[in-house]
Structure formats: C-alpha cells, structure tokens
Amino acid sequence: MASDRFAVTGRREQLLSRRVVLLAGPSGSGKSRVARLAGCPSLNLDDFYYDADHPDLPLLTKSDRGFEGGAPLAVQIDWDDPGSWNAAEAVAAVDQLLQSGTAEVPRYDISRSARVGSHRVDLGDATCFVAEGVFGMEMAEHCRSAGVTVERLFLDRPRILVMILRFVRDLREHRKPLPMLVRRGLALYRADAGLRRRALAADFRMVGLRQALSVISGS
C-alpha cells in the first residue's frame, strides 16, 4: 500500500536525519559521564577493542612496559594504540544505527581485555545519539571516509583533573595491574596536550562538561 511505503520512507528519512555527536577526549575526561547525562542513546566506542589474543596487536616497548619479558600478554599490549581497536566494526555499527535505528554491539571488559557478550543499542525516537571513546579522533576520519557525517566535540578539561579522575576510576574498576596504571597514567598525562592540538587540527570543537551537554541537547 502507498501509505506503508510512505511510512517506511518517512522512517528512513527520520533515521538518516539524526545527529551523530562524536565525543572525543583523553581517557578519564568524563566522556561516558556526558553520554549518560545527555539523555540520548549512546555508543561506547571502547567496546570495539580487540581481545588480548587477537593476532598482531601493537605491543609496548620494553621501556614503556617497565619490565623485562614474561608478563601476561594483556599487560604487554599497547591499548592506547589505535591498532588495538576495531575501527571498521565501530563505523559499521554507527552506519547500522543510522540505517535501521538499532544495532547489536559488543560488550567489552577492560579488566579482562576481552569481549564478554553483546548488547543492543536502540535509538527509538531519539533525534541524536552520542558515540564516545578514546579513539574518537580516529573514528572521525573513518566516518568521513565512509561518508558518515558527525559533529565533532572534544571534552577539554584540566589535565591534572583528568589524570586524577582517570587513576581513581581505573583503580576502582581494577582495569589493569597497579604498576601499569601508574605508568600509563603518567604517559597519558604527558600526551594530553598533544592530543588537544591534534583535535584542534582535526576541527574538533573544544567543550567543557556542561557545554558538551548543552551542545548535545541542542540548547
């Protein structure tokens, strides 16, 4: 029936007209908190990490690891390298959400360095959704290559605050062994300024937490 065709067409136009807000920022800056508070569906890009036993994952240098050989593989992997993350699968999930409004996506446990199942993201009648994660800047380029339009936000908060928040979170969630958390935290603190410069060069808009919520809500 014509009415059915119009309904399907209208539904597709509604889906494709949704805003995709890509929220990048340093680990621990509050991206997941913004996504929770924003009041719209969200896609956690960190769920697209590879499992620790995936072949050819990038490894830390010996000096970065702070130990000689013999450590568990998950500790030797450089989880801050985009090569540890499945960009193609993440972009496919965003595209699936725009095409159909739902997507089955992995659920990742950072403390286990492994996927522990999956869950469904359902946009319902939401007019936007947030895709957030530490590889947000890399995601922007992959989306551009795939023809997916996104709004680029970078959560810009004081570096020392981010370092403290990150360390407290990682300890609370037992994400990795303590020595690794300390080394990684210091390395990320040193790298955060460069991350901000890269975001500016990639046309990300610098926002604080409240401003991010305001932009996402459209107010």
C-alpha 17/C-alpha 166 separation (Å) is: 35
The model carries a pTM of 0.86
Rounded to whole angstroms, how far apart are CA atoms 8 and 2?
Answer: 10
pLDDT of residue 13: 55
- The strand pair at 205-207 and 151-155 is best described as parallel
* Pairing relationship of beta strands 114-122 and 42-44 according to DSSP bridges: unpaired
**Residue written as tokens 């996506």?**
105
**Cα(89)–Cα(67) distance, integer angstroms:** 33
State the residue for tokens 């992959």. 142
**pLDDT for the residue numbered 218:** 81
> Has domain 11-217 been given CATH number 3.40.50.261?
no
pLDDT in tens, the chain (219 residues): 655 554 444 444 555 579 999 999 999 999 999 999 998 999 999 999 999 999 999 998 765 555 434 455 556 889 999 999 999 999 999 999 999 999 999 999 998 999 999 999 999 999 899 999 999 999 999 999 999 999 999 999 999 999 999 999 999 999 888 988 998 899 999 999 999 999 999 999 999 999 999 999 885
* 211 token code pair: 């401003």
* Alpha-helix runs per DSSP H in the chain: 2-16, 31-37, 62-65, 73-76, 87-100, 136-146, 159-172, 178-201, 209-217
Report pLDDT for 7.
41
Ranges of each domain in the chain: 11-217
Task: Tell me the residue type at 55.
Answer: P
**Selection from 16, 17, 18, 25 nearest residue 211 by Cα:** 25
Contact at 8 Å (CB) between 160 and 30?
A: no
5: left (phi over 0), alpha (psi -120 to 50) or beta: alpha
Alpha-carbon 160 to chain mean position: 21
* Distance (Å, whole) CA 84 – CA 107: 16
